[in-house]
Amino acid sequence: MAIVQYLLPALALAGTAFAQCSNSGTLTIASSADASELASCSTYSGSVAIETGLAYPKNANGLQQVEVRTVQRITGNLTVTDAIDLSSLSFGSLESIGGFELGGLTRLSELSMPRLSEVSQLNFTALPALQTMDFGGTGITKAESILITNTGLSSLTGINNLESVDTFNINNNQALQNISLQVTSITNALLIEANDGYQSGLTTSFPMLETATNMTFRNCSSISLPALDNVTEDLGFYGNTFETFFAPNLTSAGGLIFVDNTALTNISLPQLVAINATYQIANNTELKEINGFTKLSIVKGALDFSGNFTEVQLPALTQVQGAFNLQTSARIDCSAFDDLSSRKVIRGKYTCLGSRARPGRDGTGSGSDGGSEEESGAAGQIQAHFPALLGGTSLLAGLLQIIL
């Protein structure tokens, strides 16, 4: 009986502690007392939200600080949104979170989680005063998805040692100057755009990245992908300012796209063999020669080149399953591609035109030097400048009607 007498209170106390450290809903922190309740747990099973209207004291500048100690793991999400007077957020012992969302915290300038290494989703939006993230040690090494947009961050220190990530989206961070990530694979999508490093341009480096599903780069001043071997969907570069692009180990891509990279003078992909969707190079005004694809053999989609280049070399090309549209404002020799078309290496509609006033538009017209066009299924006959001929016939018919 004595054992039971002591055991029952102990079990009741344990049950109370378990109830405090578990919630099927969301624990809301509105005051320091709520924070103390969370701090009594080493693991909290559930989600935690910090109240928009915090009942925390304010300093002389009208700012609030929230500090939570002891808790090491939150199995659910940690959400802090629209607490407009919050300037400092600290979880000194926290090591892992399910999801981590910060949004609309316009005065947050200090974020300290020195032991955090694992999150499921990290979503940071509208944090203009936040310049650095203190995740301590090696920082976050595991995450499923990362979204950072419209912050004051100048670097991504704290997440740059990620070992794996599914989705990585970094956009509209005007002070961000560098992204260097150690991931070996990106299983869903990477999007980097509109981070201009105060107009000096964003440098990006993925020295260990070998495989990715979909990658889009915009507004970058340099891009380094030395280990990249395969991109299963699109690899796209839009509106960047780098002068050269070199991916020495890339062997295949779903689609490959270079558009509006106004400083680009050279593309070198010496090991690229196959493009399994669209192959587009358009409006890269300083790109005069396209000759860095020495092993490219197969394009399973359309090939679409337009600009003011003077030379295109694809010496290993054996198959283009879609349309072939090559147009330039400069004079160009199309004879090699005429031959590929006649031998049905190019299976879709074939267009190769030089001296175009507005390269990139489909169709033919008079005044194109060294150009030709062939419709698929035309039995190998090249139909050159046909619209001009029809225009001349129509004019003659009109004159005859007047005379008669």
- Residue 95 CB coordination number (10 Å): 16
Q: What is the pLDDT of residues 370-398, one digit of tens each?
A: 455 543 333 333 233 323 333 433 333 34
Q: What is the pLDDT of residues 69-127, one digit of tens each?
A: 899 999 999 999 999 999 999 999 999 999 999 999 999 999 999 999 999 999 999 99
Q: What is the pLDDT of residue 20?
A: 79
Tokens of 71: 């808790």
For residue 14, what pLDDT band results from cuts at 50, 70 and 90?
very low
Q: What is the pLDDT of residue 375?
A: 37
Strands 319-320 and 372-374: unpaired
Q: Is the dihedral of CA 132, 136, 137, 139 positive or negative?
A: negative
Q: What backbone torsions phi and psi does residue 55 show, to the nearest 5 degrees?
A: -95, 50
Average pLDDT score over residue span 50-58: 89
H/E run at residue 391:
helix 386-403
Average pLDDT score over residue span 246-251: 98
**pLDDT tops 80 at residue 8:** no
Q: How far apart are CA 33 and CA 51, in angstroms?
A: 13
Q: How far apart are CA 237 and CA 192, in angstroms?
A: 10
Residue with tokens 């100048």, as numbered in its chain: 154
Q: What is the pLDDT of residue 244?
A: 98
- Least confident piece of the model among 16-25, 136-145, 147-156: 16-25
Residue with tokens 């780069």, as numbered in its chain: 217
Chain-centroid distance of CA 311 in Å reads 30
- Least confident piece of the model among 190-199, 216-225, 289-298, 321-330: 190-199
Burial class for 288, CB neighbours closer than 10 Å (0-12, 13-18, 19+): middle
**pLDDT tops 70 at residue 367:** no
Instruction: Indicate the pTM of the whole model.
Output: 0.84
Q: What backbone torsions phi and psi does residue 206 show, to the nearest 5 degrees?
A: -130, 75
On whether the CB atoms of residues 289 and 281 are closer than 8 A, the answer is no
Q: What is the pLDDT of residue 383?
A: 30
Q: What is the pLDDT of residue 55?
A: 87
DSSP helix, strand, coil percent of the chain (3-state; round to 5): 15, 40, 50
On whether the CB atoms of residues 33 and 54 are closer than 8 A, the answer is no
Give me the chain's average pLDDT, please. 87
Residue with tokens 């009942």, as numbered in its chain: 55
Q: What is the pLDDT of residue 77?
A: 97
**pLDDT tops 80 at residue 51:** yes
